[in-house]
Amino acid sequence: MAKHYELGKKGEQLAVNYLIDNGYKIVAKNWRFQKSEIDIIAQKENTLASIEVKTRSTKEFGNPQDFVNAKKIKLLVMAMNEYVIRNDLDVEVRFDIIAITKKGNNFEIEHLEDSFLHF
C-alpha cells in the first residue's frame, strides 16, 4: 500500500477519534455522491458537519487545509446537499476541515470549524 494512502487513512482515523472525544457522533464515513466523497459526516447537537480531512507528512509545501480548492468545495456542497435531502434532515449544516500534520512520531490536529461556506 502506498505511503500517502496509509497516511491518509491514519489521518481519517485520528480525525474520527478526535471528533468522538469532542462530543460528536459519527454518522457516516467516506460517503459518496457522484464524483464527490465526504470523508466524515458527524453530528453534534443539531449541527451536521461535513468534515474534509487533510493529512500531510510536512508543512513544507503549505498547511493541509490549503489543499482544499474551489472545485473540491463545490463537490462537497453538492454531496452534502444530497445527503440532507436523501435523509430528510432538518439540521444546520456546517463545513469543517480537520488538518493533520505528522510531527516526528506524533500528529498535530487542527479542527477548522465552518471553514469555507455556510449552507
Position 31 in a domain: yes
- Rounded Cα distance between 79 and 39, Å, is 11
- Identify the weakest region by mean pLDDT among 15-29, 34-48, 51-65: 51-65
Q: Is 23 helix (H, G, I), strand (E, B) or coil?
A: coil
- pLDDT tens digits, residue range 11-28? 999 999 999 999 999 999
At residue 69 the predicted structure's pLDDT band, cuts being 50, 70 and 90, is confident
In the prediction, which pLDDT does 63 show? 83
Check if the beta carbon of residue 96 is closer than 8 Å to that of residue 49.
yes
- Return mean pLDDT, the chain: 91
Host domain of residue 43: 3-47+72-112
Position 78 in a domain: yes
| Residue among 101, 111, 113 at smallest CA distance from 10 | 101
| Residue among 52, 21, 42 at smallest CA distance from 91 | 42
State the DSSP H helix or E strand holding residue 47, giving kind and residue range, or none if neither.
strand 47-56
Position 54 in a domain: no
What is the pTM for the complete model shown?
0.90
Is the confidence at residue 31, as pLDDT, over 90? yes
Position 14 in a domain: yes
CATH of the domain at 42: 3.40.1350.10
Beta strand 92-103 with 47-56: parallel, antiparallel or unpaired? parallel
Position 65 in a domain: no
Position 119 in a domain: no
Position 117 in a domain: no
- Rounded Cα distance between 42 and 97, Å, is 12
Number of domains in the chain: 1
CA 69 to chain centre: 14
φ, ψ of residue 110 in degrees (nearest 5): -125, 125
Is the confidence at residue 119, as pLDDT, over 70? no
